[in-house]
Amino acid sequence: MARFSEKVGYGLGDMSSSMFWKVFSYYLPFFYSNIFGLSLVDAGVLVLVTRIWDAVSDPMMGVIADRTHSRWGKYRPYLLFVAPLFSIAGILLFTTPDWGYGAKLTYAYVTYILMMTVYTAINVPYGAMLGVMTDDSQEKTVFSSFRMIFAYGGSFIALAAWEPLVNLFKAESSVATAWQYAMMVIAAACLVLFILTFLLTRERLKTVSTVSIGKDFRALLSNRPWWLLIGAALCFNLFCTVRGATVAYYFADIIGFDKVLTFSAGHSTFSILFYAGLFLSVGEACNMLGAVCTVPLSRRLGKKSLFMAVGASLFVLSVLFFFIPVSPGGFWLMLLFQVFISILTGIMSPLVWSMYADVSDYAELRYHSASTGLIFSSSSMAQKFGGAIGGAAVLWLLSACDYIPRTDEQMAAEAVLSQPASALLCLRLLMSFIPAAVAVISIIVCHYYPLTTRRVDEINAELKLQR
């Protein structure tokens, strides 16, 4: 049984990763089109190309990590040595050079590819650690839940603090510089968190692959549960990315910069600004609540059944979101729906990571391939493909619907633009029917996933005899 401090330490790693990842997913498309100065089409191609490279590089890193041997284990050393590069790359990503358009576009490609490469180098080994910290399937779910609770905590902090940090630095500098300084603050925190993860965690299982790299890949490609879980996980990440990447645009052009939520307490009435950061950070807080529920719900329903039930609920709530009016009462209803949707996505994330651990055990039993890093890198690959497709799709759909980006001066003044009706409808669909359709696909794919609770128990029993 792992110590509580180790579970906390493991969680701190994804707190660091998620602070970066959520800022990238939710604000980077908006940054490129409204602050950095790229066209919507160029920004969409950039997001797609760089994240596809990032996704393809994940299995490469998984193979490298699987064959790493050190006194700290296979995967832990990467947390220590890559962490400084991780922070530096994030700062460079949100730096806007005073260059011509072509040079800036090249800079954007170089820094984004660098960031995603470094992210892979630290996040793939971190994820693979789940497969060697314990051999108990339920404890893996516990570790996964700690991971996601802290991940959502980090996301909550980053998203809640992002716009206040930008506004703080904007008072003394340009908008572009303010975004860079805000990322410096986040990057410093991420560095400390990954070092703490290295210090607090241990690798207990000593797994050695007895097959070649080529056989590892052939075994992976013939692994049916892996293919099905990849498809279901990709859809889930696509669902989250489409909604998340749309929020900044949705608030800027449908809700506005100056709307407030009002509530009464006794004889007093209070108002708080209803802005994208509040909406997103409330979602992250509710993600944490969902992650806490994952262990008891998965024990009661089974992982596969829980995945499908969550997907069905996300479909219903997403469709209903389309019909919420843009009004003071509607703002509260939007926030309520964000609470419910985020609790559900909070359940899903640790569930998927735990299911990947089961797929890794299945591969070890059937193919005698201790390719934990390769298996877990595939989960990161699905996440990034979902992010790539989702982020690019948002930008391209907005461009096709004649969305009008803001200039740097308009952003500083929080100018209200008159968007065409087609762009406004596109924003509403991106928050509702489009992610709902993706949720349906994830349910269909998961229906064919064969690793039920009973089958996983059988696999674990057989592995204990072999190890």
User: Which of 291 and 416 is assigned the larger pLDDT?
Assistant: 291
pLDDT of 215 higher than 80: no
Give the integer Cα–Cα distance in Å for 342 and 292.
13
62-71, 238-247, 428-437: range with lowest mean pLDDT: 62-71
Inter-CA distances, 296 with 57, 70, 348, 379, Å: 35, 36, 13, 23
Tokens 């893996």 appear where? 140
Mean pLDDT for 305-310 is 96
Most confident of 69-78, 91-100, 363-372: 91-100
Considering 84-88, 208-212, 240-244, the range whose residues carry the highest mean pLDDT is 84-88
Residue-number span of the structural domain to which 352 is assigned = 4-466
Residue 244: phi, psi to the nearest 5?
Answer: -65, -45
Q: What CATH number does residue 298 fall under?
A: 1.20.1250.20
Is pLDDT above 80 for 414? no
**Minimum mean pLDDT range among 133-142, 170-179, 354-363, 421-430:** 133-142
Q: Distance (Å, rounded) from C-alpha 231 to C-alpha 448?
A: 11
State residue 463's pLDDT score: 77
**Is the full-model pTM beyond 0.85?**
no
What are the structure tokens assigned to 225, written together? 């549960």
285 to 104, 148, 197, 278: CA distances (angstroms): 36, 11, 22, 11
Whether residue 305 is predicted with pLDDT greater than 90 in this model: the reply is yes
Please give the Cα distance from 12 to 294 (Å, whole number).
19
Backbone angles phi, psi at 405, to 5 degrees: -70, 160
What are φ and ψ of residue 155, in 5° steps?
-60, -40
367 or 250: whose pLDDT is higher?
A: 250
CA-closest candidate to residue 444, choices 245, 235, 225, 193: 235
| Share of residues in the chain with pLDDT > 90 (%) | 42
**Kind plus residue range of the DSSP H or E element containing 464:** helix 453-466
Q: Which of 48-52, 146-150, 420-424 has the lowest mean pLDDT?
A: 48-52
Least confidently predicted of 18-22, 214-218, 256-260, 324-328: 214-218
pLDDT confidence band for 436 (50 / 70 / 90): very high
What does the mean pLDDT of the chain come to? 86
Q: Is residue 95 within 8 Å of 112, Cβ to Cβ?
A: no
Token digits of residue 106: 């090249």
Sign of CA dihedral 68, 69, 73, 77: negative
Q: Provide the residue type at 202 as one letter.
A: R
User: How is residue 173 written in tokens?
Assistant: 């500098």
Across 97-123, average pLDDT: 93
pLDDT score, position 378: 67
Helix (H) or strand (E) holding 272, with range, is strand 268-273
CA distance 54 to 124: 11
Could you read off the pLDDT of 161-214 as tens digits, one per residue? 898 899 899 888 888 999 999 999 999 999 999 999 999 988 877 665 555 666
Is pLDDT at 11 greater than 70 in this prediction? yes
- Give the Å distances, CA to CA, from 119 to 24, 53, 79, 321: 12, 12, 11, 33
Instruction: Give the Cα-Cα-Cα angle 419, 421, 422 (nearest 5 degrees).
Output: 100
348-375 per-position pLDDT tens digit: 988 987 888 888 888 888 877 666 667 7
The predicted pLDDT at position 271 comes to 85
pLDDT at 160 over 90: no
Domains of the chain: total = 1
- The CA distance from 360 to 346, in Å, is 23
Measured distance CA(401)–CA(393) in Å, rounded = 12
pLDDT of 277 over the 80 cut = yes
Query: Strands 260-265 and 268-273: what pairing?
Result: antiparallel
Asked if residues 345 and 435 have their Cβ atoms less than 8 Å apart, the reply is no
List 262's β-bridge partners, or say none: 271
Look at residue 229 in the predicted model and tell me its pLDDT: 92
- Determine whether 37 is exposed, middle or buried from the number of CB atoms within 10 Å of its CB (0-12, 13-18, 19+): buried
